[in-house]
């Protein structure tokens, strides 16, 4: 298998891959550049979690049961996953996994996860960032409006919520605490798990690679390497890059039917200060 790069091609800081070296390599810009730059350990703060373990990752993540149902496990499956089993006790049952409040758009966040669901009706999936101190709720409350969960203020989120209009499609939601920053949503034309030949048709048990960037007050969402939505051209659609936020993974059912939602990995990076 050919190597995509060599350290001496890309430059290094004390032998560690550097962002400046990656930039000189001629990769250009876009999702590929943003994601590979996450490997620049010399001048990036990086969280990489591949969910190898069979026990709770409570040292890195806060796990919260939503609406009285749901479990989060790390089953012994190929590659390792964080699996939300929503349970069938009631609507909105699910789990939130949230990291620490130490990430900022002003430090140029890049984040990626890989997610699938065994059922793609009556479910909700979120991957994003929120500023709620308790880190124990969903981020987006209502898909269509959009509106945020109580006390979530500075957010950047990719969401699927089949309770909304065409809600099986990935949607970018942002909001900020600065005056005139408003809750803004851009719905993409691509559904969770969709094939390239039928992008609006959700498909069960197919992984999507979702990438988010928060560069200053601007946000962008990608699915499988394709840019689907971007916010920040006007103040109204920006999020507050100066606020510290935490990464979230969230899965829930919208009925009493059980769902399995797998997150294969989580990577988050930003500039070091």
Average pLDDT (6-25) is: 43
pLDDT tens, position by position, 220-267? 999 999 999 999 999 999 999 999 999 999 999 999 888 999 999 999
Same domain, 131 and 161: yes
Say which range, 34-38, 87-91, 111-115, 168-172, has the weakest mean pLDDT: 34-38
Same domain, 20 and 91: no
Q: Which stretch of 37-46, 178-187, 208-217 has the lowest confidence by average pLDDT? A: 37-46
- Shared domain for 52 and 16, answered yes or no, is no
DSSP 102-166: -B-GGG-EEEEEEEEES--SSEEEEEEEE--TT--S-SEEETTTTEEPTT--SEEEEEEETTSTT
Domain count, the chain: 2
212 and 85 within one domain? yes
185 and 81: one domain?
A: yes
Which of residues 9 and 187 earns the better pLDDT score?
Answer: 187
Report strand pairing: 169-175 vs 140-142: unpaired
- Whole-prediction pTM value? 0.86
Residue 91 has pLDDT above 90, yes or no: no
Residue with more model confidence, 90 or 229? 229
Q: Are residues 15 and 119 in the same domain?
A: no
Residue 200 lies in domain: 48-271
Q: What is the mean pLDDT of the chain?
A: 85
> In whole angstroms, what is the distance from residue 222 CA to residue 230 CA?
9
Highest mean pLDDT among 13-17, 92-96, 162-166: 162-166
């Amino acid at each position: 298998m050919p190597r995509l790069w060599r350290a001496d091609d890309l430059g290094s800081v004390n032998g560690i891959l550097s962002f400046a070296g990656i930039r000189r390599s001629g990769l250009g810009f876009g999702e590929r550049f943003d994601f590979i730059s996450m490997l620049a350990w010399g001048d990036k703060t990086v969280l990489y979690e591949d969910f190898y373990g069979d026990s709770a990752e409570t040292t890195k993540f806060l796990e919260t049961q939503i609406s009285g149902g749901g479990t989060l496990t790390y089953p012994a499956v190929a590659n390792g996953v964080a699996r939300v089993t929503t349970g069938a006790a009631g609507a909105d049952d699910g789990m939130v996994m949230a990291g620490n409040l130490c990430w900022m758009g002003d430090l140029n966040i890049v984040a990626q996860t890989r997610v699938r669901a065994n059922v793609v009706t009556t479910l909700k999936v979120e991957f994003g960032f929120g500023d709620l101190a308790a880190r124990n709720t969903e981020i987006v409350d209502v898909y269509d409006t959009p509106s945020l969960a109580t006390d979530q203020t500075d957010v950047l989120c990719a969401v699927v919520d089949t309770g909304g209009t065409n809600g099986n499609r990935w949607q970018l939601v942002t909001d900020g605490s600065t005056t005139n920053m408003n809750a803004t949503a851009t719905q993409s034309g691509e559904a969770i798990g969709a094939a390239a030949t039928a992008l609006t048709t959700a498909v069960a048990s197919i992984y999507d690679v979702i990438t988010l960037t928060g560069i200053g007050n601007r946000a962008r969402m990608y699915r499988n390497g394709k840019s689907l939505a971007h916010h920040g051209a006007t103040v109204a659609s920006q999020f507050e890059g100066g606020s510290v936020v935490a990464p979230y993974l969230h899965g829930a059912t919208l009925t009493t039917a059980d769902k399995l939602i797998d997150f294969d990995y989580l990577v988050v990076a930003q500039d070091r200060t």
